[in-house]
């Protein structure tokens, strides 16, 4: 009940469906057991030679009761399925809501395959516990009780014998469920293997290019082997009690024959005991299937508990390092300042430690340095995508957390190295995402400023061309120009260019540089660049190393210092001059 209380808290409007499912199943079970009682009366009359004039009526009643049971069980299962599907919908909706609100730190620490499989697999496992187990549990726990009552009504000695069967079966049932400590590990390894499989499929182009065997993906290979061993070990822990249960049950089926012989020798009616033995044998088949249901109930309850815990833990991780926004809407100016900022992605390994930096408005800054030096982290913090561990970041002389979300999104524009365009919609609609209430003329102007007109004429539908498998395919440089058009339309006060032209060919890079020149006018601009030749004209270059600014100044000033920046340039030039003999 604790589990169901937790599950129905996600869909309170379906709680009545759960109770109705249990009630309808309860009435259905009572109906079918009344039918079994009538079967017993009919068998007794047949075997003892009593008056069978009422046999036809009994047969009709039995048939109607079984039909009623079928209808009631169907209705109960229908009610539970309505609740089960609603639960899946609610949990997926909650997953989407949390994903939309999740901190960027969460996405840095979890790959997409892992997140997708945790949500999908665990949501699916909650379906069984509601859709099927509400009626099945009601039937599974009510059936033995009614069987005991009916057996005692039929015969006292058979009732005592059946009570012993039930008690022995419960002991074996507990052992048949296996070592429960395996279940948690089993669920964890299943999630790990599924996540690894998704990542493996996504890496299939690499697999094909290099003809890599499965064992080359060691993590996935190991997870499959561990999962196999886990399943085998769990199965082996259940085998003895399961075989013993089947063996004892078969013995119990024939044991009443000897009890009947004993009772007949003591003067009991042989015809009556023949009816009792036949009816009891039919009953044992029902008891066996019902016992198996009870065993699976335990497994599904554990899985559902584990699934809900996994989902709720995932939701908590999504909320960790969640960004808090204020109500400030206007930027007083475009100055940016870091004050004693500490930041880490995982709470342990600091990327920035007591970091301070001041950037004046309407200037162009270039962040350079080796990979992992902290350039991208600084840019991400300026964009408001991550909360700091301590210290503060000021934009317009106010803490970044004092601004509301819409203002930050409106006033800060980011151009990524690998832009994302939405497939299935047109170029025009992709650009309009930058400002949903923009007039058509504004969108066309943004496309023109981003130099999209240079390639748009090759498409039959021009700006209405649909992007994707059923439409057009764009090169990396063309996608980049469309993403820049979004920024032009957005018209932010601060621009962050994160290796925005790194993947472009020479022709596209030329067009991009023209677009960038227009884009950065009258804006505070932060560029992250590895192509050092493209940053010589910026106002100031900041050389970042190990989360610290070790040198800053114009290109000429830094070259005169004969310091780390000059060495960096020399290494870069040597790399560019490298040739194959």
Same domain, 59 and 148: yes
Residue 78's pLDDT is 93
Residue 307's pLDDT is 78
Residue 531's pLDDT is 65
Residue 455: is it exposed, middle or buried by C-beta count within 10 angstroms (0-12/13-18/19+)? Answer: middle
Give the number of C-alpha atoms closer than 13 A to the C-alpha of residue 233, restricted to the C-beta side.
13
Asked if residue 413 belongs to a domain, the reply is: yes
Q: What is the DSSP string of 101-131?
A: H--HHHHHHS-HHHHHHHHHHHHHHHHHHHH
Report strand pairing: 494-498 vs 412-415.
parallel
Cβ pair 422, 430 in contact under 8 A? yes
Residue 212's pLDDT is 65
Residue 485's pLDDT is 86
Residue 74's pLDDT is 92
Q: What is the DSSP string of 241-293?
A: HHHHHHHHHHHHHHHHHHHHHHHHHTT--HHHHHHHHHHHHHHHHHHHHHHHH
Same domain, 287 and 360: no
Same domain, 177 and 232: yes
Asked if residue 461 belongs to a domain, the reply is: no
Q: What is the DSSP string of 424-462?
A: TSBHHHHHHTT-TT--HHHHHHHHHHTTTHHHHTTSTTG
Same domain, 265 and 344: no
Max CA distance (Å), the chain: 120
Length of the chain: 581
Same domain, 269 and 341: no
What is d(CA 505, CA 188) in angstroms, rounded to the nearest whole number?
45
Same domain, 344 and 219: no
Same domain, 261 and 386: no
Asked if residue 464 belongs to a domain, the reply is: no
Asked if residue 445 belongs to a domain, the reply is: no
Which residues of the chain have a pLDDT value below 50?
A: none
Same domain, 299 and 362: no
> Which residue is it, tokens 């665990």?
122
Nearest to 340 by CA among 376, 381, 386, 388: 388
Rounded to two decimals, the pTM is 0.65
What is d(CA 350, CA 341) in angstroms, rounded to the nearest whole number?
10
Which of residues 263, 289, 319 is at a domain's end? 319
Asked if residue 571 belongs to a domain, the reply is: yes
Question: How many C-beta neighbours within 10 Å does residue 332 have?
Answer: 10
Same domain, 269 and 133: yes
How many structural domains comprise the chain?
A: 2
Q: pLDDT (tens digit, 9 = 90+) per residue, 389-411?
A: 888 888 888 888 888 888 888 88
Which of residues 319, 349, 374 is at a domain's end? 319
Same domain, 227 and 299: yes
Which of residues 287, 319, 351 is at a domain's end? 319
What is d(CA 290, CA 238) in angstroms, rounded to the nearest whole number?
18
Asked if residue 441 belongs to a domain, the reply is: no
Asked if residue 435 belongs to a domain, the reply is: no
Same domain, 388 and 499: yes
Same domain, 225 and 342: no
> Which residue is it, tokens 């290979």?
221
Residue 64's pLDDT is 94
Structural domain boundaries, residue 130? 14-319
Q: Domain holding 290: CATH number?
A: 1.20.1560.10
């Amino acid at each position: 009940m604790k589990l169901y209380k937790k599950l129905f808290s996600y869909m309170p409007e379906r709680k009545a469906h759960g109770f109705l499912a249990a009630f309808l199943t309860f009435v259905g079970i009572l109906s079918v057991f009344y039918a079994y009682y009538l079967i017993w009366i009919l068998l007794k009359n047949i075997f003892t030679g009593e008056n069978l004039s009422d046999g036809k009526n009994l047969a009709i009643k039995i048939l109607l009761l079984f039909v009623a049971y079928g209808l009631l069980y169907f209705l109960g299962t229908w009610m539970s399925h309505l609740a089960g599907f609603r639960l899946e919908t609610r949990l997926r909706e909650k997953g989407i809501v949390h994903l939309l609100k999740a901190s960027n730190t969460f996405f840095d620490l979890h790959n997409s395959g892992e997140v997708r499989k945790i949500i999908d697999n665990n949501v699916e496992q909650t379906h069984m516990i509601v859709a099927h187990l509400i009626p099945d549990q009601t039937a599974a726990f009510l059936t033995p009780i009614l069987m005991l009552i009916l057996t005692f009504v039929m015969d006292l000695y058979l009732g005592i014998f059946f009570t012993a069967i039930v008690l022995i079966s419960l002991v074996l049932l507990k052992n048949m469920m296996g070592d429960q400590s395996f279940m948690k590990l089993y669920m964890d390894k299943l999630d790990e293997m599924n996540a690894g499989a998704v990542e493996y499929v996504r890496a299939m182009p690499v697999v094909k290019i290099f003809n890599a065997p499965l064992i080359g993906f060691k993590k996935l290979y190991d997870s499959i082997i561990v999962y196999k061993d886990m399943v085998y070990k769990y199965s082996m822990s259940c085998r003895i009690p399961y075989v013993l249960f089947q063996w004892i049950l078969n013995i119990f089926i024939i044991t009443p024959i000897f009890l009947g012989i004993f009772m007949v020798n003591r003067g009991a009616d042989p015809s009556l005991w023949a009816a009792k033995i036949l009816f009891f044998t039919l009953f044992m088949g029902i008891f066996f299937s019902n016992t198996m249901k009870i065993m699976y109930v335990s497994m599904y309850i554990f899985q559902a508990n584990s699934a809900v815990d996994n989902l709720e833990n995932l939701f908590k991780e999504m909320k960790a390092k969640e960004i808090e926004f204020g109500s400030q809407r206007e930027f007083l100016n475009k100055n940016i300042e870091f004050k004693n900022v500490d930041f880490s992605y995982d709470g342990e390994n600091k990327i920035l430690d007591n970091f301070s930096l001041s950037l004046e408005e309407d200037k162009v800054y270039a962040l350079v340095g080796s990979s992992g030096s902290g350039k991208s982290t600084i840019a991400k913090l300026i964009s408001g995508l991550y909360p700091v561990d301590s210290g503060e970041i000021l934009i317009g002389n106010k803490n970044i957390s004092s601004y509301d979300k819409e203002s930050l999104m409106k006033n800060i524009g980011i151009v990524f190295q690998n832009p994302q365009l939405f497939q299935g919609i047109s170029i025009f609609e992709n650009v309009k995402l930058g400002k949903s209430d923009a007039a058509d003329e504004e969108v066309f102007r943004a496309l023109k400023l981003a130099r999209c007109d240079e390639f748009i004429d090759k498409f039959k539908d021009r700006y209405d061309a649909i992007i994707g498998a059923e439409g057009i395919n764009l090169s990396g440089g063309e996608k980049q120009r469309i993403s820049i058009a979004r920024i032009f339309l957005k018209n932010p006060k601060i621009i962050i260019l994160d290796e925005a032209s790194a993947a472009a060919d020479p022709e596209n890079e030329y067009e991009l540089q023209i677009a960038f020149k227009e884009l950065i006018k009258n804006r505070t601009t932060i560029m992250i660049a590895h192509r050092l030749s493209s940053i010589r004209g910026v106002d100031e270059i900041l050389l970042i190393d190990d989360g610290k600014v070790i040198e800053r100044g114009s290109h000429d000033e830094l070259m005169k210092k004969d310091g780390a920046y000059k060495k960096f340039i020399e290494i870069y030039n040597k790399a560019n001059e490298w040739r194959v003999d």
